[in-house]
C-alpha cells in the first residue's frame, strides 16, 4: 500500500510540476508577444534560400496576376523589406509572408486579408491566443513541412510488393516458433531480409520524418485556431482539416521515432525497432503514408496557407500599429496616380513626397545624391505592398492595379561573358515584351542605357521610354540626361527633379520633389568641394563652356 501511495504522490507531483512549467512558459510568451508588438524582430537569422522555398515552388503551379521577379527583388531590396515586415510567429507564417510579398493576386483577396488584419488590430485576446498556438510551429524543423507539398513523390522500390508477404512469413514463423522451435530457425533469414529492406527505407523516412512530425503539429494548431469563432467565421472552406485527419494515425506512427531520442527511452526504442523490423511495419506504413500525402497535397497546402494567412494577418497588424504613416491604398481603372506624403519603410526619418499624375508618366532628373533612384524605388516598393498586403507608407495612395517591372541594378556577368550593355539590353527587352500585356504595367528605370555612348543612349532611351508609355502603362525613369526632358516633354511625360543647395561650401539636399526641368548640375562642384586640383576644375568648366553650353 505504501508503494501505491508513493507512486500516486510522485505522479501527482510530476503533473503539478509540468502544469506549473506550462503556465510559466505561457505567461512568458504572452509577455514577449506584448513587448514585441509593433516592433521589428531582433537577432533573427534569415536564410532566404529556405524561407523562399514555398514561393519558388508555389509559383510554378499558382495561377496569379503577377509575380515579383528576381530582377525586381534585387532592384527594390525586397529581402530587406521582408525583414522589416516580418513579425510572424511561426516558420509557416514566415515562408507564407515571403510568398505573399512576391505574388500579386487580385483586389478581392486583398479585401479578405484586410478584414483578417483588422480582426487582430481590434481583438487583442484573439491575437495573443493565436500567437500562443502559432509559437508551437516556431522550430526550424517546421520549414520542412513544405517538402510534403512540393517535393517530387518517392518512387516505390521494386521490392515493395514483397513487404507484406515477408511480414506474413515473419508473423507465422514467430507465432509457430513457440509451438515448434524449428520455426525460429526459419525466422532468422526472413528477419535478415527484413532488416536490409527496413534500413533501405530508413533514409527516406529520415528525410521526411521532420516534415511528417510538423504536419501533425500544424494540424493540431489549426484545430486549436478554429476554436475561436472569429477565425472560423473568416475562413469558409475548411474541408482540408477533416481530410488530413484521416491520415493522422499513420503520420503519428511514422514520426514516433523522433520522440525516442533520449537515453531514458533508448531501451524502448530498441524493442520497438526490433518489432518494426521483424514485421516490416515501418516500411509498409511509410509507403502507404507517402501515397496518402501525395493524394492530399492540395489539402496540406490549404492547411499551410490557412496557418500562414493568420500569422501574416497578425504580422501586418503589428506593422500598422508601429507606423502611423500607413494608409489603405485605393485602386483606379484610369491611368491616374495620386500619392500624398509617401515614405520608404527602410529609410529612417524619410523625407515624404507627393505626386499626382493623370494620363502621364514621370521623367525625373536631379543632381547626384539628390534622391532620384530612392524616389522611384519608394513608389515601386509601396506599389507592391499595396497590391499584396493592402498597405502603403503614405497618407494617400491611389494607383491602377498594375504589374511592376524594373531595370535599376544591372551588373555584367563575367561567368556568362555578358557585357554591362548587353545585360541592360536583355533586361529592358523583358520590359518591352511585358508592355504589350492587356493589363496596365508600371515600369521603373534608372539611368537607361548608361552602358553605352551619350548620343545613342539618349536616342535609344527616348524611343524605348515612348514605346513603354503606351495605353494605361506608367513609366518612372530617373536620368542625368537633361536632353531627354526636351525629347519626352511632349510625349506624355511629366517632368520633375530633385536639386541641392550649397551652404557654407557644403552640399545640402532637401530631398523634396519639384515640378519642372532641372537647371543646375553639381558633378564638377562636388569635385571642387572635395579639393580636387584647381587645374582639373578649371579645365572641366572650360570644356563645358566651349562644347556643351
Structure confidence by residue, pLDDT tens digits, 110-137: 999 999 999 999 999 999 999 999 999 9
Prediction pTM value:
0.88
Shortest CA distance to 486 belongs to which of 464, 522, 462?
Answer: 462
Shortest CA distance to 250 belongs to which of 202, 190, 205?
Answer: 205
pLDDT in tens, 26-71: 778 788 788 889 889 988 899 999 999 999 999 877 778 999 999 9
- Mean pLDDT estimate for the chain: 85
Query: Percent of the chain at pLDDT above 70?
Result: 90
Please tell me the number of Cα atoms within 13 Å of 75 on its side-chain side: 26
> Is 366 within 8 Å of 497 (Cβ atoms)?
yes
pLDDT in tens, 290-322: 888 888 999 999 999 999 999 999 999 999 998
pLDDT in tens, 507-520: 778 889 999 887 77
Query: Percent of the chain at pLDDT above 90?
Result: 49
pLDDT in tens, 255-264: 665 555 545 5
pLDDT in tens, 355-380: 999 999 999 998 777 889 999 999 99
Within 255-390, residue ranges assigned H as helices are 266-279, 281-295, 297-322, 372-388
Q: State which of 13-17, 267-271, 489-493, 525-529 shows the largest mean pLDDT.
A: 489-493
Instruction: Tell which wins on pLDDT, 250 or 121.
Output: 121
Sketch out the chain's domains with CATH numbers: 46-322 (1.10.1420), 330-518 (3.40.50.300)
Q: Is 424 exposed, middle or buried (0-12, 13-18, 19+ CB in 10 A)?
A: buried
Amino acid at each position: 500500500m505504501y508503494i501505491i501511495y508513493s507512486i500516486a504522490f510522485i505522479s501527482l507531483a510530476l503533473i503539478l510540476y509540468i502544469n506549473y512549467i506550462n503556465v510559466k512558459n505561457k505567461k512568458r510568451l504572452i509577455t514577449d508577444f506584448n513587448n514585441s508588438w509593433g516592433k521589428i524582430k531582433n537577432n533573427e537569422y534569415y536564410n532566404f534560400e529556405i524561407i523562399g522555398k514555398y514561393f519558388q515552388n508555389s509559383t510554378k503551379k499558382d495561377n496569379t496576376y503577377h509575380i515579383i521577379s528576381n530582377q525586381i527583388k534585387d532592384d527594390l531590396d525586397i529581402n530587406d523589406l521582408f525583414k522589416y515586415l516580418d513579425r510572424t510567429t511561426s516558420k509557416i507564417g514566415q515562408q507564407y509572408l515571403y510568398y505573399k510579398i512576391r505574388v500579386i493576386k487580385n483586389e478581392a483577396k486583398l479585401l479578405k486579408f484586410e478584414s483578417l488584419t483588422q480582426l487582430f488590430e481590434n481583438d487583442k485576446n484573439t491575437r495573443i491566443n493565436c500567437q500562443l498556438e502559432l509559437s508551437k510551429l516556431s522550430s526550424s524543423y517546421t520549414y520542412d513541412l513544405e517538402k510534403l507539398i512540393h517535393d517530387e513523390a518517392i518512387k516505390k522500390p521494386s521490392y515493395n510488393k514483397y513487404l507484406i508477404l515477408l511480414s506474413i512469413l515473419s508473423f507465422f514463423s514467430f507465432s509457430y516458433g513457440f509451438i515448434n522451435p524449428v520455426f525460429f530457425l526459419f525466422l532468422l533469414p526472413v528477419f535478415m531480409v527484413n532488416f536490409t529492406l527496413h534500413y533501405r527505407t530508413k533514409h527516406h523516412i529520415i528525410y521526411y520524418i521532420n516534415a511528417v512530425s510538423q504536419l501533425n503539429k500544424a494540424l493540431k494548431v489549426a484545430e486549436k485556431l478554429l476554436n475561436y469563432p472569429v477565425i472560423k467565421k473568416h475562413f469558409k472552406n475548411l474541408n482540408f482539416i477533416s481530410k488530413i485527419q484521416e491520415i493522422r494515425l499513420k503520420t503519428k506512427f511514422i514520426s514516433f521515432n523522433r520522440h525516442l531520442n533520449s537515453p531514458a527511452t533508448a531501451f524502448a526504442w530498441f524493442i520497438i525497432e526490433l518489432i518494426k523490423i521483424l514485421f516490416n511495419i515501418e516500411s509498409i506504413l511509410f509507403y502507404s503514408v507517402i501515397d496518402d500525402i501525395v493524394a492530399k497535397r492540395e489539402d496540406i497546402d490549404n492547411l499551410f496557407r490557412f496557418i500562414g494567412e493568420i500569422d501574416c494577418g497578425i504580422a501586418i497588424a503589428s506593422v500598422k500599429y508601429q507606423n502611423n504613416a500607413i494608409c489603405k491604398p485605393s485602386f483606379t481603372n484610369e491611368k491616374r496616380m495620386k500619392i500624398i506624403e509617401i515614405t520608404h519603410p527602410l529609410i529612417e526619418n524619410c523625407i515624404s513626397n507627393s505626386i499626382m499624375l493623370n494620363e502621364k508618366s514621370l521623367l525625373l532628373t536631379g543632381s547626384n545624391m539628390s534622391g532620384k533612384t530612392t524616389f522611384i524605388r519608394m513608389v515601386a516598393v509601396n506599389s507592391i505592398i499595396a497590391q499584396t498586403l493592402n498597405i502603403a507608407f503614405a497618407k494617400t495612395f491611389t494607383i491602377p492595379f498594375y504589374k511592376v517591372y524594373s531595370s535599376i541594378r544591372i551588373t555584367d556577368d563575367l561567368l556568362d561573358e555578358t557585357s554591362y550593355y548587353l545585360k541592360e539590353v536583355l533586361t529592358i527587352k523583358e520590359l518591352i515584351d511585358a508592355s504589350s500585356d492587356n493589363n496596365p504595367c508600371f515600369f521603373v528605370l534608372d539611368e537607361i542605357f548608361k552602358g553605352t555612348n551619350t548620343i545613342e543612349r539618349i536616342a535609344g532611351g527616348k524611343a524605348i521610354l515612348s514605346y513603354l508609355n503606351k495605353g494605361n502603362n506608367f513609366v518612372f525613369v530617373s536620368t542625368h540626361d537633361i536632353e531627354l526632358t526636351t525629347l519626352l516633354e511632349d510625349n506624355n511625360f511629366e517632368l520633375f527633379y530633385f536639386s541641392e543647395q550649397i551652404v557654407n561650401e557644403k552640399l545640402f539636399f532637401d530631398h523634396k520633389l519639384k515640378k519642372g526641368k532641372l537647371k543646375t548640375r553639381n558633378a564638377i562642384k562636388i569635385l571642387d568641394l572635395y579639393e580636387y586640383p584647381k587645374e582639373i576644375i578649371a579645365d572641366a568648366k572650360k570644356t563645358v563652356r566651349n562644347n556643351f553650353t
